[in-house]
Amino acid sequence: MGERQPSSRSCFVCGRDNDVGLKMVWENHPEEGEIRSMVTVAEDFNGYPGIVHGGILAAMLDETAGRAILLEGDPDELMVTAKLEIAYRRPTPTGTPLLLVGRLVSRTETRAEAKAEIRLPDGTVSARGSVLLARPPKEILAGWEAERQYFRVD
């Protein structure tokens, strides 16, 4: 088991206090160079019956790839998504435990590239995402200050 990453209180994907969110939690696994999260998506988030909506999968992949930058544990390193590309490989079922894995590919002071994938219980990859991240402008960072106290591990 790896070290847990902090979560916010209101984010749709990771928010602890978001009653309609996914409440995902990630762990750092530096020895493998990846982060991981297990989640079971409720039928409330389907597109077709029994199948997770593609937009929900996109949000999960985006968050997982973006959080790969936190593998070293510094929440001040957060960046925002500048570009997201997704390959939907096969339907992803609701009500099934899914493993999300994220990896940092490259990083500079102002930009990064990361990848994420969703794995079914048998290890089959149902979707992959590639993300280009950018350091947000100072005015955006200033807006995060009030929320910083809620970005923690519970």
DSSP string, 64-101: HHHHGGGGGS-GGG--EEEEEEEEE-S--BTTSEEEEE
pLDDT score, position 110: 94
Average pLDDT, the chain: 94
pLDDT score, position 55: 98
CA distance 42 to 128: 20
Structure token pair of residue 153: 């591990």
Virtual CA dihedral for 38, 61, 33, 153, nearest 10 degrees? -60
Confidence of residue 101 (pLDDT cuts 50, 70, 90): very high
- Lowest-pLDDT range of 7-11, 22-26, 97-101, 124-128: 7-11
Cβ atoms of residues 127 and 57 within 8 Å:
yes
Q: Which CATH number does the domain 3-146 belong to among 3.10.450.30, 3.40.50.150, 3.10.129.10, 3.40.640.10?
A: 3.10.129.10
CA distance 126 to 98: 10
The domain limits of the chain are: 3-146
pLDDT digits (tens, 9 = 90+) for 7-56: 999 999 999 999 999 999 999 999 999 999 999 999 999 999 999 999 99
CA distance 141 to 79: 10
